[in-house]
Each structure stands twice: as C-alpha cells, then as structure tokens.
Structure 1
Amino acid sequence: MNDVFITKAFTYLPNEPVSNDEMETYLGYINGAPSKAKSIILRNNKITTRYYALDKEGNPTHTNAQIAAKAVEGLFDEKFKKEDMELLSVGTSSPDQIQPSHASMVHGELDMNKSLAINTASGLCNSGMNALNYGFLSVKAGVHKNAVCVGSERMSAWMTADKFNHEAENLILLEERPIIAFKREFLRWMLSDGAGAFLLEGQPRENEVSLKIEFIDFYSYAHEIEACMYAGTEKQEDGSLKSWADYPSDEWLKQSIFALKQDTKVLDKYILVKGAESLRSSFDKHNLDPDTVDHVLAHISSGYFKEGLKDEFAKVGLDFPWEKWFYNLSEVGNIGAGSIFIALEQLMNSGKLKKGEKVLLCVPESGRFAYSCALLTVC
C-alpha cells in the first residue's frame, strides 16, 4: 500500500461575505415579514458572516458544480496541471439536480479534454469526508496516481423565501399563524455556500507543507437513532420518514417537503455524546495518545456546540486544551460537506504547522448520526 499525502488545498467562497443584517436581503422575507427566530438562532450559532451564491435580488450567481469546479481549478499549477488529474471525487448535500451525479457536473464545468474516473459521495456533512476517503483509498491501493477530492455546498438556493411562501399562504388559508415551523427555519440562518478541494498524491511536495493521511474512520448510529436532519421527506409521529414520492404533488409546496429540516430535540440529545463515543473508538482502535495531537479541527454546525463538544471529549479521556482547537465557523458559516476542507485549507496555508505535528479532523453528520475522523501528519 502507498502512503497518501494532501499536497495542496484550495478554497472557493462565492461573492462577498454577507453580514447578519444583510441575510434577508439575499434570502428574502417569508410572507413579506422579518423573521422572529433569526436573532435568537444567530445569537446561539455565533456566525457573523457567510457566503451566498446569490445576488441581492436572490438570483443565483453560481451553481454548486461551478463552485466546486472553482475550488478544483485552484489546485492546478506548474507541478500539477489539469490534464494530470486521474480521479475526481466530490461530496455534497446540496446537488444542483437529482441526476446526473454531482461529480459528473463538476467534471463538465472543468473544460477538460480528457476522460476521468469520478465518484460522487451523497449524504450530508460526511459526504465530503466520504469523497476524501474514496480518493485516499484509490491512491493508497495504487489504482490512481492522484486524486482531487472536493466538499462543496450551495444551500442558499434551498433557503430563499420563495421556497417557503406557499407553505405560509397555506397556513393562512387554514386560519393558522403563517409562521414556518422552527425545524425548517432553523437552518436558514446557519448555512453557507462554498467549496474546498484537496490534491492527493503518493509523495509530499518538497519545501511545501504536505499532510500525510494516517487513517480515516467512519461510524454510523442509524441502528440506534431516528433521523434528525432530512429533506425530500417528512418525519412521522413514530420517527419514520415518508418520502416525497409518497405525497401527492400538491402537498410538496404546502408542506415544504423538499426543504432541509432538523429535529433540534434529537440533535441536542445525541450529536455530542455520539461524537465523543466514536472518536474514543478510533483512539482505542489505533492506540493513540491524545497528548500527541497538536491541532483539533472539529466541524460544528453552530457555535452553540463549541463548549459542549470539548466537555464531551474530555469525559471520554480526550481533553484537548483550547489552544489546540481551530475554528473558522464565525467567519465562513456552516458549509456542510465543505466545512472541514475549508478549515484545513486555512490551517494548512496559515504558516502555523510544523513538521511532525499531528492534525485531527472530526466531522459529525446529524442526518441519522454518522461520524468520521482522520489523523494527518505534517510533512
């Protein structure tokens, strides 16, 4: 088996940063009224700016595939040209279409004159890590000499007011308050657009920071816990999900069936506890000493979880001091599958990493509670 290194990373964030006060200028006002929940959610998630692939009239400026392609193009240089790429592996939770696959669409945006091996990882936040794992294993096994792995999102298009206005109008007809359910509105004030890309190769680059991938582990708790984050479906009283395909088409708009929703009660109960449990399993599996970890990059959807995550890790013997943690959530927002790519790119190009240091990546996915972690060594 070959060693595998992240030899270059690049981030693409569309347009200019959007402040908290500007959000509804881009996303629009549901039922023409400012949100009453917005200030509460923003106070808890501690996000101050994010990025939207929208203009101020709510018109799209980029597709998800275009955002991902921009990140990929940032990897090309005199050492790695576009025609050198052998595998493109992309993960997202917000593809532009149900079919074709997201990786196919990204490949199409790259203006290449060659065929590629491609892979699309679906899901939520862990889709980016699954895309990375596919590239890692392909290079490690010698199937490909290199792999470009991407995590990308364009959630803003899912969160514009027009996607919810029909539901608000229906509530008025039913003589109910036109307030969209919290499980739908909650995510409007947290999600951001962008993409991060990694180049994986079998050798580190001389005189540049490279990161050796030691392992990537995955854990799912779907056998224990019901779904927490979902779209294209609606949760039933017993916790099961009813597919969009089983609803009459006129119900799709009335109930915002395709909106991304989150069951915050289930989220609070499990997201941190299972994250600590899974990471403890990896440290035991690889016989790792937490003191050997120099940098901790944990994707969190909201600043609300920052203190709690550190505490839960400490409860299972993984008490990383604050100076080892690296976060950029407040500046870029929650970019789902792209978040861990973008955070690592920022750290990788910060000048702070020293040869021999260990970098830990932790990614939770609240869809039905799946987790991943990876250990990297600075070369």
Structure 2
Amino acid sequence: MVYITASGQFLPGDPVDNAHMADHIGRLSPQAERLGRLVLRQNRIATRHYAMKPDGTTDWTIAKMLGQAVRSTLDDAEIDAKQVGYLATSTTQNDLMVPGLASQVHGELGLPPLELASMQSVCASSMMALKSAYLQVKSGEHRAALVGGGEFASRYFRPGFYEGTDSVLQDGTLPGDAGFLRWTLSDGAAAVLLEDRPASRGLSLRVDWVSLRSFADRFEPCMTAGSVRDREGSLTPWSHHENIRAAAQAGAFQLRQDVDALYRMLPVWLGEFMRLVDEGLIEPDAVDWFAIHYSAHSLREEMIKQATKAGCMIPEERWFSNLATKGNVGAASIFLILDDLLKSAKLEEGQTVLCAVPESGQCVMAYAGMTVVGPHDGRDAK
C-alpha cells in the first residue's frame, strides 16, 4: 500500500489582495484593469502570492520554490531524506527549456542520486506526477517518493510581455483569452511524501487509486503558450516563425485560455466522474472530503449545477478548497489543498478523501481516492 505521510508548501512573499494586484503584475491600461475586476468577480480569489516583485525583479525560480516546499515536507517526515528513491515534479512552464524541472529540483535539494520524472502539462500534471510516484512505491521499486508541483505564472504577466506585440488592442486591453489568465493565476509550490507504510504519529492518507484520462481526441487545445492561432484557428508553434522576434511580436510567448472551450469540457469531466461511479471507485454519498481544484468560483457553480442535475452531487459542505486565499497555482494547487487539509484538524481516521483535478489544456480529468489512517509503528506495514 501507499501512504501520504508528510506534506509542505511554499508561497512567496506576503498575500496580495485584489487592490494591489496591478502593482505586482503591472498596469497596461485603465480599460484592462476594468476587465480584471470583472474576472475577479468571477473567480472570487481574494488573495494570492507572487514571486515577482512590483519592480519586475525576483529572487525565485520554480525550482527554488519547489525546493523550499520539499524541505518543508521533509521537516515533517519521519524518514531521512536519503531514503527517498524517487522524485516527480509537475509544472505548466518550466524555468528552463532544458533540462527538466525534476533535475533542477534535485540539484537544488542536493539529495543523493535518485530516480526522477518531470511532468509538464497544466494543472493535471500534478496528478501525472502523483500517479507515477504512487505506482513506483506500490510496485516496491522505491520505499519512499517525493512529489510536488510549482508555478511561476506572474513572470509572463508583466506589461513588457505584451507591449509592442500584436496582442494589445487599440484601447490598451488584451483579447479575453489573454487577459483572463493575468487575473487568475499566481505563484507557489507544494509537495507530499509517499511511503510504503503510514506515519507512526499523526494521520496519513492511504492512496487507494489514481485515475487520469485525456480527451484530446475530442478537443482542440484550450490553454496554450508558445504558439499563435491563425485566422482558421490552427496553432503555429513559436519555432515556426521567421525568427524569435517575429514570434514574440505575434504574441507567441503569452498564456492564453479559451474560456468558452473550458465550459464545453465540463460535461466530459462530469462524465468521467460518472464512469468511476459505475466502476465502483467513487461512492458520492461515502465521500467525506472532496478536495477539488478549480480555476474560478463561476466554474464551481456550473459544476454544482451539472452534478445536481445528474444526481451525483457531493454536498458543498464536504468540499475543501483554498482558492479564495491562495489562488489558482496550477500544478501546485492540489498539493496545496492536501497540505492545508492535512493540517486543518478536520480529518478523522476512517474518512475518505476524493481529489479532483480538471485540466483545460486539451481536456484532461484526474481523480484520486484516499482514506485517512491513524498512526502505525510501520514495522510490518506493507
């Protein structure tokens, strides 16, 4: 069996409220800020953290933030860090194009040689990393594994990434697919430790199963970066432009989100939930805590509407989210949620936890079932 025995997180700087957001991501125009206020009413994020300072400088990288989160996790762990044989990381956009994030985090931590995996997608890359580590420990390949996610979205939101490009409209605003994410994404990192036995003190989470499915056969890319969409809707990779300046001028290095396509994915995500109900992995009435990542409160409301109509709604009082206080931190979000839940004093032995991570990149849906277990001496737990 596999257990989450420790967790940790790192959020850079002080919480930034809505009134001071523009000081951190930079001001494009009064019109752009009016759009931002509309987005904030939709997502209902009250505070978030930025690794970028108001002057556009930073002391951080994703690797450094995730390294801090892993150290926090190991501080809570009972095992020595040298016993960890596997490290899996997740992010939307790495600090470097090469090498992978896991290599950078490994170097940041200075741990002895180990096996690693770098997962790169959007939010669900966290669950890709979790499943890879879960299988490694479950198979007996490794006694313990570290899994984490980190994001540094704010570095792409500075005015300099937009000014002078074809993306900026005459009134100083951005197209909706670019402006939406500026007011939605933020920075940070979190991690968990997986072991082949529960902790000897406190509560652990037994990972019972992890399910992840892509539906890219049904959807075009919805959240993109590194490309430009032509008039026919096709994506041209940045590397297919005449030169790097032409790619930047066209806006190829900007994050984009097709919000309409995002909402069209909701029935598919719910359908995946129903599939797992039919297979007996999920019993909605038996879920004590629904640890769900979503990008905006408006999306949550639509989820509730559709789940209620389908007769599979988990009561809202069982939902656990920290979106309002920590923001949408992409691949780090589910690990931030798990860390906060483990440290909330809400969990009781025997309770069940259902994790859910939808991804709009090109439509991915991931779920994981867990059970809260009490302390164990660990000597005969396998």
Match of 1:266 among 261, 265, 273: 261
Deviation of 1:251 after TM superposition, in Å, equals 2.3
Structure-to-structure mapping, 1:307-322, within 5 angstroms: 307-322=301-316
Match of 1:256 among 224, 233, 251: 251
In the alignment, which residue of structure 2 is the partner of 1:214? 208
Q: Note if contact 1:226-1:239 (Cα within 8 Å) is conserved in structure 2.
A: no
1:114-165 deviation line (CA, Å, top 9, x unaligned): 2111110110001111011110000001111110000111111111111111
Deviation of 1:21 after TM superposition, in Å, equals 1.2
In the alignment, which residue of structure 2 is the partner of 1:15? 13
Q: Note if contact 1:126-1:363 (Cα within 8 Å) is conserved in structure 2.
A: yes
Instruction: Measure the CA separation in 1 of the matches of 2:353 and 2:334.
Output: 12
Corresponding letter in the other structure for 1:263: D
Deviates more, 1:50-59 or 1:280-289: 280-289
Corresponding letter in the other structure for 2:310: V
Matched, 1:75 2:70: no
Q: Note if contact 1:192-1:333 (Cα within 8 Å) is conserved in structure 2.
A: yes
Deviates more, 1:284-293 or 1:261-270: 284-293
TM-aligned CA distance change 1:171 to 1:314, over 3 Å: closer
SS for the counterpart of 2:73 is coil
TM-aligned CA distance change 1:237 to 1:218, over 3 Å: farther
TM-aligned CA distance change 1:180 to 1:288, over 3 Å: closer
TM-aligned CA distance change 1:287 to 1:257, over 3 Å: closer
Instruction: Measure the CA separation in 1 of the matches of 2:335 and 2:288.
Output: 18
1:141-195 deviation line (CA, Å, top 9, x unaligned): 1111110000111111111111111226x868xxx44432221111000001111
Give 5+ residue unaligned stretches, structure 2: 374-382
> What is the Cα-based RMSD across aligned positions, in Å?
1.7
1:287-312 deviation line (CA, Å, top 9, x unaligned): 54211111111110011112211222
Match of 2:174 among 168, 174, 180: 180
Corresponding letter in the other structure for 1:97: L
Deviation of 1:327 after TM superposition, in Å, equals 1.3
Corresponding letter in the other structure for 1:220: S
Match of 1:227 among 218, 221, 224: 221
Q: Note if contact 2:32-2:174 (Cα within 8 Å) is conserved in structure 1.
A: no
Deviation of 1:237 after TM superposition, in Å, equals 3.9
Deviation of 1:8 after TM superposition, in Å, equals 0.7
Corresponding letter in the other structure for 1:253: A
Deviates more, 1:283-292 or 1:138-147: 283-292
In the alignment, which residue of structure 1 is the partner of 2:138? 140
Deviates more, 1:325-334 or 1:159-168: 159-168
Deviation of 1:51 after TM superposition, in Å, equals 0.4
SS for the counterpart of 1:14 is coil
Q: Note if contact 1:226-1:240 (Cα within 8 Å) is conserved in structure 2.
A: no
Q: Note if contact 2:32-2:172 (Cα within 8 Å) is conserved in structure 1.
A: no
Matched, 1:190 2:184: yes
Q: Note if contact 1:166-1:253 (Cα within 8 Å) is conserved in structure 2.
A: no
Match of 1:43 among 41, 61, 77: 41
In the alignment, which residue of structure 1 is the partner of 2:380? none
Corresponding letter in the other structure for 2:252: I
SS for the counterpart of 2:202 is coil
Structure-to-structure mapping, 1:321-340, within 5 angstroms: 321-340=315-334
Match of 1:155 among 142, 153, 156: 153
Instruction: Measure the CA separation in 1 of the matches of 2:317 and 2:171.
Output: 47
Structure-to-structure mapping, 1:28-67, within 5 angstroms: 28-30=26-28, 35-67=33-65
SS for the counterpart of 2:314 is coil
Give 5+ residue unaligned stretches, structure 1: none
Deviation of 1:81 after TM superposition, in Å, equals 2.3
Deviation of 1:33 after TM superposition, in Å, equals 7.6
Q: Note if contact 2:127-2:212 (Cα within 8 Å) is conserved in structure 1.
A: no
1:91-131 deviation line (CA, Å, top 9, x unaligned): 0002101111011111111133x211111011000111101
Deviation of 1:240 after TM superposition, in Å, equals 3.0
Instruction: Measure the CA separation in 2 of the matches of 1:25 and 1:179.
Output: 17
Deviation of 1:319 after TM superposition, in Å, equals 1.5
In the alignment, which residue of structure 2 is the partner of 1:126? 124
Q: Note if contact 2:83-2:143 (Cα within 8 Å) is conserved in structure 1.
A: no
In the alignment, which residue of structure 2 is the partner of 1:304? 298
Q: Note if contact 1:94-1:153 (Cα within 8 Å) is conserved in structure 2.
A: yes
In the alignment, which residue of structure 2 is the partner of 1:101? 100
Instruction: Measure the CA separation in 2 of the matches of 1:262 and 1:171.
Output: 16
Instruction: Measure the CA separation in 2 of the matches of 1:366 and 1:34.
Output: 24
Q: Note if contact 1:167-1:180 (Cα within 8 Å) is conserved in structure 2.
A: no
Deviation of 1:258 after TM superposition, in Å, equals 1.0
Corresponding letter in the other structure for 1:51: H
Q: Percent identity?
A: 33
Deviation of 1:321 after TM superposition, in Å, equals 1.0
Length-normalised TM-score, structure 1? 0.94
Deviation of 1:36 after TM superposition, in Å, equals 2.8
